[in-house]
Structure 1
Amino acid sequence: MKLLVDFSALRAAANRMGPPIQIDLSFKTANAPLVRKDITVNTAPPPELVIPEGGMELTDLGQVGIDNNLLTWQGQQVLLYIQDHRARFDAARLDGKVGNRVHLSFCQTLEKMRDSGRFERYVVTRDHSEQFRITGKMLGWREESATTDLKVCKYCLRKLNYEGYGTPGNYAAFTNFSFVKFFQQYESFFPYHPSREAGAPEHYSEDWAEVSRRYRESRRHTCENCGVNFSRRPYLLHTHHINGVRSDNAEHNLKALCADCHSKEPGHYHMAVPHRIRQEIAHLRQEQQRAEAPDWREVFRLADPGLNGLLHHLEAKRAPLPKVGLDIQDGRDAIIANLELAWPSQQIGIAISEADAISAKEQGWRVYRVQLALDRPEKLVDLLRRSR
């Protein structure tokens, strides 16, 4: 007996998932990485590494690590400050400006503390709410606790050259500083990130998944900022609400953006984009010839946000323009590394990942980690000029 089976519903469901993925295989040249089907990224630390709300008191500054000039604890980017304000508690509770500074980096203040053997009961935290728990004596005798808006350490901003703070007269990096934005900017350097979705003020409409799919399809799965086509990797393309209202799905309020461009939109500091995702997008930009940066403005737009301080140094010192997100190939044309910044004619590059740095060095490149380049930018610029 002949069976008649209607597959129309199945085909319709498959079509809603986006265009079919085409993978061209060649035995002569290297192929792009296979598409990652599972894109759920859990960046929360395991339970044993969770820092309690309000921070965790340290017994020694040696418990804090340093990665690319940033403070770390057990693989996590952290902040460091003195919670105990003693007799200054009441004043700091009312105005965070008079309280202790919050440290982002192992700046000269922490270096002096370490070198002198002093320790002031520092607290490590991943809090990004702009409010910090402080303790001290109320009215001179009663122990109390409260939360207040402590300010960032200026020495730390200078060490990182955060938003170009090292430039004389540039105070905006301090006056406009946001701890939320700071954590987002450097997340490529760390495997664990603080959760930031809790503060989202709006919810998406019930049909948002379908609205987003149709809109991205109408734009041929192409990022409207960087121009890269994501038909083969649709999970890298998002739909952005221009006015920030997630329930406003009017077409004029929508914009198709890749995960990298989306995370750089104003007010999108809650977005966590893992380093491997940014590198995958960088690879596609190279592949589709969308990675050209004719000026520093475009370099800043395309580069990983964690390179912001270094880029400000390079621009100020008039360094040659770099390539952004350059793939490095071995002798068989297989892609073995990706450099965040690269000067191909000099074979000099900057890498966030240690593995990328090692692989590129094996191909004859001189590769520097961000921390070294940030500490001595004038040496890097001098090397680039001499190697022309």
Structure 2
Amino acid sequence: MKLQIDLSALSAAVSRMGLPLPVVFDLKNPLLPHDPERPHSGDSPVIEPGGEEITWKVFNEVKKTGNLLEYKGQQILLYMPGHPQNRFEEAQVDPLNGNRVHISFCRHLEEMKRTGNFQRYIATQDQDGEFRIYSRQKPSHEVNVCLRVCMLCLTKLNYKGYSKPGNKAVFTYFSFREFFQHYESFFSEHPAPEPRSHEEKGYTQDWPEVSKAYRASKDYICESCDVTLKRHRHLLHTHHVNGVRNDNAEGNLKALCADCHSKQPGHDHMVVTRDNRYTITHLRREQECADTADWQQVFDLADPGLNGLLHHLKTLKAPLPEVGLEIQDARDAIVANLELAWPGRRVGVAIGPEDAEQAREQGWRVFSVAQCLDSPEKLKRQILPPA
């Protein structure tokens, strides 16, 4: 009889406890050393470079994950390549005249799904901002254009507080690459980046040694959130303050945990897995450096994918949440992680559906990110103390 063993639950529990996983276990293959710096990505992308046309059937398989677009476990973008001839010509002069790129299940896509009024869309994971378009009158005539993001999508996600009146800069300076980086925790797989050497990335040849020595000089403590990472040294990075990667002057270096590092301006190239963010959050709480005395501290500590929701709650003057609360069962075993929590009301927000289910079994009222984005006022009512 063939023996089936599933260690995924054990691995997830260990990760939540903040313990290192030195190897990846695979009962079919020899044990291989685990490389913590390796980007978390699938064996192959869901969508080929350049994108592919989707049918009505495929469109119905696109999921709404945190109001984002998900297909086969990965995040995607959707756009309509066909343009009327006049708009096709105008889009080449000014991308504002072209069709918009959808990053969310906005009002437009939801209406299309409801009515079945489906048009030809392309699904893509390309993040460089260039998209292939053509004229409906001359389909063979194709060009690449830097199309702009859909404003309805930005509103749906409240991306970087876009819903705040006058916040036009979010649209003007929108980056698809940075957008993907914001929501990494919502997806288990990501497109693999093109491998490049340290020199190709702009670092000096001795950068690994410089980085290691600097982090050791700071006793493996994050200089932003104060979390100690001696047992998880791969989660402490060395950041170039001025953004110049070959400037290794000590005054230009800063030791930052992977979470804090990923939130620095211009760091849209970074991949921080959900499990690694969990580990850092666990250690912050264990070491009592996860206090949230004001909204700025909440933004600094919370997962970037909750940014839009946090902007809603701040505007609504909701009570401050705790960040990364671990839920325990009757035996004090950690069974779930809530990204945001209000323990006094036993209300929380979870990215992962498994975490939400486990927390509910422990008597918590848990909402998904999509539910909260669609109705932040309802969440506020749930977390306000009784009158």
Alignment TM-score, normalising by the size of structure 2: 0.87
Partner of 2:362: 363
- 1:76 equivalent in alignment to 2:61: no
Q: How many angstroms apart in 2 are the aligned matches of 1:270 and 1:142?
A: 34
* Aligned twin of 1:346: 345
**Take 1:296 and 1:194, find their aligned partners in 2: how far apart are those partners?**
33
Q: 2:167 aligns with which of 166, 170, 185?
A: 170
**In terms of mean alpha carbon deviation, does 279-288 or 93-102 score higher?**
93-102
Instruction: Report the counterpart of residue 185 of structure 1 in structure 2.
Output: 182
| 1:37-92: CA deviation from partner (whole Å, max 9, x where unpaired) | 23254533333x53122211011131322111111111111110101114122221
Deviations 1:295-333 (A, max 9, x none): 111101110000011101100111100001112222222
Equivalent positions of 1:234-245 (< 5 A) are: 234-245=233-244
Alignment match, 1:28: none
Aligned to 1:3: none
In 2, the alpha carbon distance for the partners of 1:80 and 1:340 equals 28
Determine the C-alpha separation between the residues in 2 that align with 1:332 and 1:269: 41
Matched position secondary structure for 1:319: coil
When structure 1 is superposed on structure 2, of 359-368 and 188-197 the one drifting more is 188-197
Alignment-mate amino acid for residue 83 of structure 1: P
Alignment of 1:258 onto 2:257: yes
SS of the residue 2:345 aligns to:
coil
With 240-249 and 96-105 compared, the bigger mean Cα shift is at 240-249
Gap regions ≥5 residues in structure 2: 1-15, 23-33
Deviation at residue 285 of structure 1 after TM alignment: 0.3
Partner of 2:64: 66
| In structure 2, distance between residues paired with 1:141 and 1:343 | 57
Counterparts of 1:86 and 1:196 in 2: how far apart (Å)?
A: 35
**Using a 3 Å threshold, how does the CA distance of structure 1 residues 387 and 278 change in structure 2: closer, same or farther?**
farther
The equivalent residue for 1:21 is none
Partner amino acid, structure 2, of 1:51: I
Q: Pick the aligned partner of 1:51 from 44, 47, 57.
A: 47
* Partner SS for 2:354: helix
From the superposition, tell whether residues 338 and 114 of structure 1 become closer, same or farther in structure 2 (CA, over 3 Å): closer
Structure 2 CA distance for aligned equivalents of residues 225 and 50 of structure 1: 36
- SS in structure 1 opposite 2:92? helix
Q: Residue 315 of structure 2 corresponds to which residue in structure 1?
A: 316
Matching residue of 1:35: 20
Letter in 2 for 1:154: M
Q: Which amino acid aligns with 1:233?
A: H
Q: Secondary structure at the match of 1:57?
A: strand
**Residues 142/110 of structure 1: CA separation in 2 closer, same or farther (3 Å cut):** closer
Contact 1:188 1:306 in 2 (8 A): yes
Per the alignment, residue 117 of structure 1 pairs with 116
3-state SS in 1 of match to 2:69:
strand
Deviations 1:78-115 (A, max 9, x none): 11010111412222122211000001111111122223
Greater Cα shift, 279-288 or 206-215: 206-215
User: What is aligned with 1:18?
Assistant: none
Q: Aligned partners of 2:69 and 2:80: how far apart in 1?
A: 15
DSSP-derived class of the 1:336 partner: strand
Query: For the structure 1 residues 134 and 34, does the alpha-carbon distance in structure 2 shift closer, same or farther, using more than 3 Å as the test?
Result: same
CA distance in 1, matches of 2:282, 2:355: 14
Cα distance, 1:132 vs structure 2: 1.0
Secondary structure, counterpart of 1:345 in structure 2:
helix
Contact 1:202 1:245 survives alignment (8 Å): no
Aligned to 1:104: 103
Q: 1:157 and 1:185 mapped to 2: Cα distance?
A: 13
Residues in 1 aligned to 2:17 and 2:373: alpha-carbon distance in whole angstroms: 31
Corresponding residue number in structure 1 for 2:10: none
1:184 and 1:33 mapped to 2: Cα distance? 23
> Which whole-Å CA distance do the structure 1 matches of 2:62 and 2:54 have between them?
9
Letter in 1 for 2:369: V
Between stretches 120-129 and 165-174, larger displacement belongs to 165-174
Letter in 1 for 2:55: T
Identical aligned residues as a percent: 52
Q: Which has the larger radius of gyration?
A: 1
1:212 Cα shift?
1.1
- The residue aligned with 2:301 is 302
**Aligned counterparts, 1:220-299, within 5 A:** 220-299=219-298
Q: Distance in 1 between matches of 2:138 and 2:127?
A: 31
Whether the aligned pair in 2 keeps the contact of 1:202 and 1:247 (CA below 8 Å) is no
**What's the offset of the Cα at 1:142?**
7.3
Instruction: For residue 338 of structure 1, give the secondary structure of its aligned residue in structure 2.
Output: strand
**Quick check: 320-329 or 197-206, which moved more?**
197-206
Asked if the contact 1:95–1:148 (Cα under 8 Å) also holds between the matched residues in 2, the reply is no
Q: 1:161 to 1:283 in 2, by over 3 A?
A: same
2:60 match: secondary structure: helix
Provide the rounded CA distance (Å) in 2 between the counterparts of 1:247 and 1:170.
34
How far the C-alpha of 1:369 sits from its partner, in A, is 1.1
Task: Provide the C-alpha distance between the structure 1 equivalents of 2:193 and 2:37, rounded to a whole number of angstroms.
Answer: 16
Q: CA deviation at 1:210?
A: 1.4
How does 1:139-178 map onto structure 2 within 5 Å?
141=138, 143-178=140-175
2:371 matched to 1:372?
yes
Alignment size in residue pairs: 355
Q: Which moved more, 1:279-288 or 1:65-74?
A: 65-74
